[in-house]
Amino acid sequence: MKFLFLSCFLWIITFANAQPGDQFAMRKSQLLKIEKALQNDPNNVSLIWERLELTFDPHFNLYAKGKTFEGFQQRGFEYPYYILEDLNYLIANQISIKIKMKTISLANFYFKRGQLFYVTGYREYALDDYLVALKHNPAYKLKQEISLSIAAYYYNTGENYSLENYEIALFYIDLVTPKEDINKPFVYEKYSNRSSDYFQTEKIQLLKASRQEERLVTYLKCIAKNDLLFFEKEQKRSQKHQQSHSYTIKKSLQYGLDKLYEIAVYFYETGNYKKAKEIIEKVIPFIPKNTYGHYFETYAYGRYFVLLSKIYGTNEYENVSLEIENLLEGFGDPTQGLSEKAAKQYERLEVLLALYPYEAKLHLAKAIYLRKIKYNGGYRKPAGNPFESLQQCEELGLQDYRIPYLRALLLREEKRYAEALVEINKAQLLCSGYVNVYGLKLYLLQNVDIIDEAAIQQTKSLLEASKKQEKVNVPSILEMIHAI
């Protein structure tokens, strides 16, 4: 559960010994200037508001709970007495302030006072002020913040599940988010850092909490469609543009597919394994591949296979062979990182190993896990040697490029480059066209004692060829989205 994020600078004046350039020191200096100016002009509303913004500027998310700071005490410093007084003054006199082409008025004052009530535990007073602020026709950005704060109030009211409160929270999020309509996509410019839906995460959470399955599925499909249409649009632009924005373009495809994955996860978690299986099996074929048919980023998409593995582990679809196959795919390529979903499946891997000790793919999955876990903190680190697990794979007759490839990776880490090169050549024979195999081979060729320039040049050419991505059939994905 996330907690309240506060950007609260109530304690800035305690930083008397801050270093030059320290933000707190600069804010302290700014506050002292304002205080001095207010002594000469105590009713200067612009200065009063500037002081309020400097000393009390909290930012809430959906999970924000009230009474965060007891009396606003931080490092032994009592909160400034004037916060409530200043807000009451501005509200009572119905002040309107122009600052840098921006109008600050009653909506701002009521909202900030509501925030003050909320974090000091006066939640009902906070709600009253939020609702009044909303009636004062706030600017859209402020309306978003107010609506989120009201949603947080209802989301966190009571200790137990409340469908009614979740529905009210969703109502206020709906006020500031686009209406989901799969037939009316709103393609947006990612480079401007603008999301099509400012509260996407909160809306998904509330749709789940309020059990609105049809809306949830439609909403996730809308987001997926938007990302994929953006990806399609960018793919038609110049090569120079695509190179400059390659990361964003690549991620837009991943984000789109991820939302379809989320739909499958939702059905799995609600016990509809048939629907979950149907969706994830439609999504997996669209995972990006190179022209040789190999996946580019198994780390990014490993959880898709983990979900399918879990489905084949249910009573409804029990299939040990397919469960193991997809679990192995879920652990991903030996080079890349370990997805959280895959890491959490290690206990299931141990159960399967105990039941099927002669299943070679389980030993390969364990070897991959053991190698990756060295670089991932927070996950279980079981006893075992990946070299031994790879040896068991071979003794059980498994032929898979990942066996010599992983062994080459392990040998490289020990700087045994000549031995690693022997293994990577074996991997290349078992799997041509895989980018990571060529990448590792190139590294080894450049670090062995005897340099073979011809082999280096040949490997460079193979590496570049393996980086070419297979064209993503976006129209087919869009058809699939409508069919879900």
Rounded to whole angstroms, the Cα distance separating 126 from 120 reads 10
Measure the CA–CA gap between 87 and 110, rounded to whole angstroms.
8
Token representation of residue 48: 């009063």
The identity of residue 32, as a single letter, is L
What pLDDT score was predicted for residue 283? Answer: 95
* CA distance between the termini of the chain: 30
Is the Cβ–Cβ distance between 4 and 64 less than 8 Å?
Answer: yes
pLDDT in tens, 311-337: 999 999 999 999 999 999 998 888 877
Q: How many CA atoms lie within 13 A of 212 on its CB side?
A: 19
193 φ, ψ (degrees, to nearest 5): 65, 25
Q: DSSP letters of 433-456?
A: T-HHHHHHHHHHHTTSSS--HHHH
Cβ contact 215:173 at 8 Å? no
pLDDT for 196 = 60
Q: What is the pLDDT of residue 73?
A: 40
């506050």: which residue's tokens?
31
Backbone angles phi, psi at 157, to 5 degrees: -85, 125
Cα–Cα distance measured from residue 260 to residue 305, given in angstroms and rounded to the nearest whole number? 14
The set of residues, in sequence order, having a beta carbon less than 8 Å from that of 297 and lying 6+ positions away, is 254, 288, 336
Q: How far is CA 359 from the centre of its chain?
A: 35
pLDDT tens, residue by residue, 363-408:
999 999 998 887 665 566 677 899 999 999 999 999 999 999 999 9
Query: Residue 104: which H helix or E strand, with range?
Result: strand 102-104
Distance between CA atoms of residues 125 and 130, nearest Å: 9
- The pLDDT of residue 17 is 36
- Are 252 and 232 a contacting pair, CB within 8 Å? no
Closest among 399, 368, 373 to 386, alpha carbons compared: 368
Instruction: Specify whether the CB–CB gap between 160 and 211 falls below 8 A.
Output: no
pLDDT of residue 9: 37
Sort strands 97-99 and 102-104 into parallel, antiparallel or unpaired: antiparallel
What gap in Å lies between CA 281 and CA 147, rounded to an integer? Answer: 38
Residue-by-residue DSSP string for 257-309:
HHHHHHHHHHHHHTT-HHHHHHHHHHHGGGS-BBTTS-BS-HHHHHHHHHHHH
Query: Strand, coil or helix: what is 80?
Result: coil
So what's the pLDDT on residue 67? 55
Give the chain's radius of gyration (CA, Å).
28
Q: Looking at residue 189, what is its pLDDT? A: 53
**Amino acid of residue 6:** L
The pLDDT assigned to 185 comes to 58
pLDDT of amino acid 5: 33
Tokens representing 184? 């009316």
Q: CA 399 to CA 312: how far, in whole Å?
A: 24
Backbone angles phi, psi at 429, to 5 degrees: -65, -35
Q: What number of H helices and E strands is found in the chain?
A: 23, 2
Q: Give dist(CA 52, CA 136) in Å, integer.
A: 20
Q: What are phi and psi of 290, to 5 degrees?
A: -85, 180
Tell me the C-alpha to C-alpha distance, in Å, between residue 282 and each of 286, 479, 481: 8, 11, 9
> If DSSP codes are grouped into helix, strand and coil, which group holds residue 420?
helix
Residue pLDDT tens, the chain, 484 long = 333 333 343 433 333 333 444 566 777 788 888 888 888 888 888 888 988 888 888 877 777 665 544 444 443 334 566 889 999 999 999 989 988 888 999 999 999 999 999 988 899 999 999 999 999 999 999 999 999 999 999 998 877 778 899 999 999 999 998 887 777 655 555 544 445 677 888 999 999 999 999 999 999 999 999 899 888 888 888 888 888 888 888 889 999 999 999 999 999 999 999 999 999 999 999 998 888 888 877 778 989 999 999 999 999 999 999 999 999 999 888 887 777 777 788 889 999 999 999 999 999 999 999 988 876 655 666 778 999 999 999 999 999 999 999 999 999 999 999 999 999 999 999 988 889 999 999 999 999 988 899 999 999 999 999 988 888 888 899 899 988 8
The SS3 call for residue 6 is coil
What phi and psi values does residue 477 have, to the nearest 5 degrees? -65, -40
Give 7-72 as a 3 state SS string: CCCCCHHHCCCCCCCCHHHHHHHHHHHHHHHHHHCCCCHHHHHHHHHHHCCCCCCCCCCCCCCHHH
Angle at 167 between CA 162 and CA 171, to 5 degrees: 150
Q: Note the Cα 333 to chain centre separation in Å.
A: 21
Contacts of 476 (CB under 8 A, 6+ apart): 286
CA distance 481 to 220: 10
Rounded Cα distance, 154 and 167, in Å: 9
